[in-house]
Amino acid sequence: MMMTAAQYEKSLRNLNLIVYMFGERIINVVDDPIIRPSMNAVAKTYEMAHCPEHVDILTATSHLTGKKINRFTHIHQNTDDLIKKARMGRLLGAHTGCCFQRCVGVDALNALSIVTYNMDQKLGTQYADRFVNFLKYVQENDLTCDGAMTDPKGDRALSPHQQTDPDMYMHVVEEKSDGIIVRGAKAHQTGAVNSHEIIVMPTIAMSEADQDYAISFALPSDSQGITYIMGRQSCDTRKLEDSILDRGNLHFGGHEALCVFDNVFVPWDRVFMYKEYAYCGQLVEKFASYHRQSYACKSGVGDVLIGATQTVAEYNGVQKASHIKDKLIEMNHLNETLFCGALACGAEGHKEPSGTYCVDTLLANVSKQNVTRLPYEIARLAQDVAGGLMVTLPSAADYKSAETGKWIDKYFKGRSETPMEHRFRILRLIENLTLGTAAVGYLTESMHGAGSPQAQRVMIARLINMKEKQTLAKRLCGIEPL
């Protein structure tokens, strides 16, 4: 069954999550004013899947049941699926102006569909059957999954088993007849408290000495022993203020959390890797490749920022200036370049032995490397065009005040035919996208999401066939025969 947005919200109300923010437990997570915009963004993925004009992009046919499902629960069956995934990311980024939080889940599902099959073929394990049963459950109930890969890591110079505190990486602390007990944490978890399931994966390649850390499993997000500590974002408390004008994005947002697993029980039927350390690197690489393509969403958010920049230029009366036009052209050029990479790695995808289609790993890393850079230049140009008022504009309370509002309306007006409130709103949106809460999902996430920039550069160096390039050059200049 494909859920509606209303059904999704109701499903979250049935969860009993342990969530802390600002030192206090949040009892009503769904209606908390700071968390609510992030739930709205996820709800949009459900709502738009029911819109006739978006069905082709946001839904798919399950290869397991033949039923129509939300694409965020789909296992890619061909390169067309991979391309539609990129288009879906851009579409939703444009409609929410933020991170909509479901990409990491579908990327985890696809990576596990490949690696559990590979382990079973080589080792004679039964992980693929367990995974397929879990996948059917996710598809039939249209669940949102949080893909939990990033461990706190402690001392980065030490491997997991060498850490002073063994909990710096998720690990098994006890094996029982009906399952395992795990302890540790997963950091920077996007949309964690908006998720039904938490899919845990190892965060690095491991050696035999680290086998207790070589684990992958899935659990309901409200399982006993899991605690969520919400991360802070710039301007987050503006959502607590009476006026909505200072928020910029009035409806949507994202969130990240630290997910703590304090001696959590995992039944065997939810375990997808148990001490198979030789496959950790493969799972990390497959997930990272998928997730690096997922940053097509940044081109969608870029569409919003470019639209806001064009609008503020018009409100300021400078839209006809040649240098403003040139900056907007450059913003569009950079934004389309981001999207090109996401499409290319999908179009060049390949079929894995499991039958799942995976993106081209090299091009996925090149695409994400662009994402670590180009959004920052797009944001810089947006701030350039917007002007300093973006960060010196008085508060909405001052604007609505009987004493000061008239002066703000008088002195901060741009074109005479444009209401000052419209200029106020668009400036706050640009601030939100480039400096505020949405900047987490647009800029910082562009830099560090799916691995740091150096992680992509390592993969690019590993995958490039430099010898072949040298041979091509040597043949053309006569060093080697044609």
Kindly report, residue by residue over 191-228, the tens digit of the pLDDT: 999 999 999 999 999 999 999 999 999 999 999 999 99
Q: How confident is the model at residue 438 (pLDDT cuts 50, 70, 90)?
A: confident
Chain position carrying tokens 């069905």: 55
For residues 83 and 210, state if they share a domain. Answer: yes
> 215 and 67, same structural domain?
yes
Token pair 């830099």 is found at: 447
Residues that are catalytic: 99, 103, 190, 256, 291, 295, 297, 445
Range of the domain at 259: 5-280
Q: 380: domain CATH number?
A: 1.20.140.10
pLDDT at 436 over 90: no
Model pLDDT, residue 345: 98
DSSP code string of 443-467: IIHHHHTTS-HHHHHHHHHHH--HH
- Among 217, 250, 280, identify where a domain stops: 280
CB atoms within 10 A of CB 85: 27
> CA 434 to CA 248: how far, in whole Å?
11
Query: Is 481 a domain residue?
Result: no
Pair (262, 314) in one structural domain? no
133 & 267 share domain: yes
Q: What is the mean pLDDT of residues 25-54?
A: 97
DSSP string, 326-343: HHHHHHHHHHHHHHHHHH
Tens of pLDDT, residue by residue over 152-182, are 999 999 999 999 999 999 999 999 999 999 9
Q: Is residue 286 part of a domain?
A: no
Please indicate, yes or no, if residue 388 is contained in any of the structural domains.
yes
Query: Residue 456: its pLDDT value, please?
Result: 95
Instruction: State the pLDDT at residue 69.
Output: 98
E strand or H helix that includes residue 200: strand 197-200
Q: Specify if 212 maps to a domain.
A: yes
Kindly state whether residues 90 and 232 are assigned to the same domain: yes
At 314-359, the pLDDT tens digits run 999 999 999 999 999 999 999 999 999 999 999 999 999 999 999 9
Rounded to whole angstroms, how far apart are CA atoms 19 and 11? 17
Place of tokens 């979250």: 12
| Percent of the chain surpassing pLDDT 70 | 100
In sequence order, what are the residues at sequence separation of 6 or more whose Cβ sits closer than 8 angstroms to the Cβ of residue 436?
Answer: 233, 234, 235, 238, 248
DSSP state of 252: -
Does the residue 263 lie in any domain? Answer: yes
Residue 287 located in a structural domain: no
Give the CATH number for residue 77: 2.40.110.10
Q: Which of 238, 260, 280 is the last residue of a domain?
A: 280
Specify whether 274 is located in the same domain as 301.
Answer: no
Count the domains in the chain.
2
Q: How would you classify the pairing of strands 68-70 and 59-61?
A: antiparallel
pLDDT tops 90 at residue 187: yes
According to the model, what pLDDT value does residue 1 have? 85
- Whether 192 and 304 map to the same domain: the answer is no
Q: What pLDDT score does 194 carry? A: 98
Give the mean pLDDT of 127-147: 98
**Where is the domain boundary, 280, 300, 335?**
280
Claim to verify: residue 95 and residue 206 sit in the same structural domain: yes
Is 381 a member of any domain?
yes
Q: Using alpha carbons, select from 282, 288, 299 the residue that is nearest to residue 343.
A: 299
Distance of CA 73 to the CA centre of its chain: 15
Is residue 440 scored above 90 in pLDDT?
Answer: no
**70 and 11, same structural domain?**
yes
Q: Using one digit for the tens of pLDDT, what is the confidence trace for 379-435? A: 999 999 999 999 999 999 999 999 999 999 999 999 999 999 999 999 999 999 999
Same domain, 423 and 349: yes
- The structure tokens 């947006």 sit at 382
Domain assignment present for residue 464? The answer is yes
- The answer to whether residues 264 and 311 belong to one domain is no
pLDDT, mean of residues 434-450: 88
Q: Quote the CA–CA distance of 120 and 127 in Å, as a whole number.
A: 6
pLDDT beyond 90 at 103: yes
Place of tokens 């230049």: 377
Residues 296, 409 within the same domain: yes
Host H or E run for residue 258? strand 256-267
Please check whether residue 141 is in contact with residue 192, taking contact to mean a CB–CB distance below 8 angstroms.
no
